[in-house]
Amino acid sequence: MKKKGSFLYSQKAAPFVFVLPFVITFIIFWVYPLISAFVMSTQNIGAVSREFIGFKNYAKLLKDNVFHQAVANSFEYMVLTCALLIPFPMLYAVLLDGKLVKGKGIWKALMYVPALTSVVISGTLFRLMFTEYRTGQMNVLLALIGLPAFKWLKVKWTSEIALLVLCCWRWTGVNTLYFMSGLKSIDKGLYEAGSIDGANKWQMFRYITIPLLKPTTIYVLTISIYAGLSMFLESFMLWAGNDSPKNIGLTIVGYLYKRGIQKNDMGYACAVGVVLLVLAMIINFTQLIINGQFKKEEK
C-alpha cells in the first residue's frame, strides 16, 4: 500500500492512469473510424483493392435519386417525431407533476414499459398490427368507423403514420420522464409568486414552466434530431428487411446499410455517412444557436 516512491502511484500520475482506457478506446474506436469515414468516402473500395477517386462518390450522391428520397424520408421523420415527442410528453409531465393525477408511480412505470422492448419485438408487433389484412388491428379500427381495409405499409403517408406511431409508442414515456426531471428543478416558489400576482394556470405554464424547462427541451430536441435522422431499425423491422415498396421506408442509414453491407460498396456508404454527419451537425448547431446555447457561459 505504501509505495510512495513509485511514480505510477503518485497523485500526479493517477488521473492519467484512470482516463487511459478512455483515451485508448477514443482513439481506436472513435477518432480512427471518424477519420477513415472521410478517407473511405473518397475511395472506391473493392474486395481487395482500394483506389482514390476524389469526390466522385459525392458527385454520384448528388445525382442519386434513391439517396434523395432517403434524405427526404429521414428528414420528414425527424421533423414529425420532434413535433410529436416534445409537446405531448411535456404536457404529460406537467400533468403528472401536478396534484390532479392519482397513482403517478403506476403511470410512470407503465409509460416506460414500451422502451423496454427491443426494436425486433416492437417492430414485429407493429408490422403485424399494420398488416393489410382485414383482421389486423389498424384495419379493425378502420372497420369500426366504416372504412374498408387499407394497405398501410404500401402507401407513403400511411407507412409514415406507422413509423410515427411506433416511435411515439416507444419514446413518449422516456421523454415524459426527461421533462419530469426538468420540472423537479423548477423552484415551486415561482408558482406561488405567480398565483399571488394573479396569473392563471395557462399563464404560469407559458411564462414559468416553458422558459425554465428550456434546458430539458433543448436536450430532448438535440437527441431527437439525432435519433430521427439516424433512424434505421424501425423501418428495417416494419418492412421485415431493408426493402420497402418504392423505398417509402428507406432512411439515410438504411441506404448506408444497403450500399455498405448488402451491396458491399463501402466507399459510397461512407460518403452517405459523411453527408448524414454534416446534415445532423448543421441542423443541431442551427437549433442550438437559435436557442441561444452558445451565448451564455457553459457551466
Q: Which of 33, 56, 35, 52 is nearest to 43 (CA)?
A: 52
Nearer to other proteins, 21 or 54 (CB): 21
Nearer to other proteins, 248 or 280 (CB): 280
Compute the least distance from the CB of residue 142 to other proteins, in Å.
12
Rounded CA-CA distance 148/156 in Å is 18
Report residue 134 as a C-alpha cell.
Answer: 382485414
Running DSSP on this structure, what letter comes out for residue 7? G
Compute the least distance from the CB of residue 233 to other proteins, in Å.
6
Query: Among the residues of the chain, which ranges form H helices?
Result: 14-26, 32-40, 56-63, 65-85, 87-97, 104-112, 119-129, 137-144, 156-184, 188-196, 201-204, 210-212, 214-229, 233-238, 252-257, 266-290
Place of cell 484512470: 18
CA angle 16, 19, 24 (to 5 degrees): 105
Nearer to other proteins, 248 or 274 (CB): 274
Nearer to other proteins, 1 or 145 (CB): 1
Query: How far, in Å, are 28, 186, 187, 207 from residue 199 at the CA level?
Result: 56, 17, 16, 9
Rounded CA-CA distance 218/177 in Å is 15
Nearer to other proteins, 17 or 210 (CB): 17
Compute the least distance from the CB of residue 248 to other proteins, in Å.
18
Compute the least distance from the CB of residue 92 to other proteins, in Å.
7
Cβ-defined contacts of 57-62 (< 8 Å, 24+): 57/267, 57/268, 57/270, 57/271, 58/271, 58/275, 60/268, 60/271, 61/268, 61/271, 61/272, 61/275
Compute the least distance from the CB of residue 206 to other proteins, in Å.
18
Nearer to other proteins, 22 or 52 (CB): 22
Compute the least distance from the CB of residue 148 to other proteins, in Å.
15
Compute the least distance from the CB of residue 119 to other proteins, in Å.
6
Nearer to other proteins, 120 or 147 (CB): 120
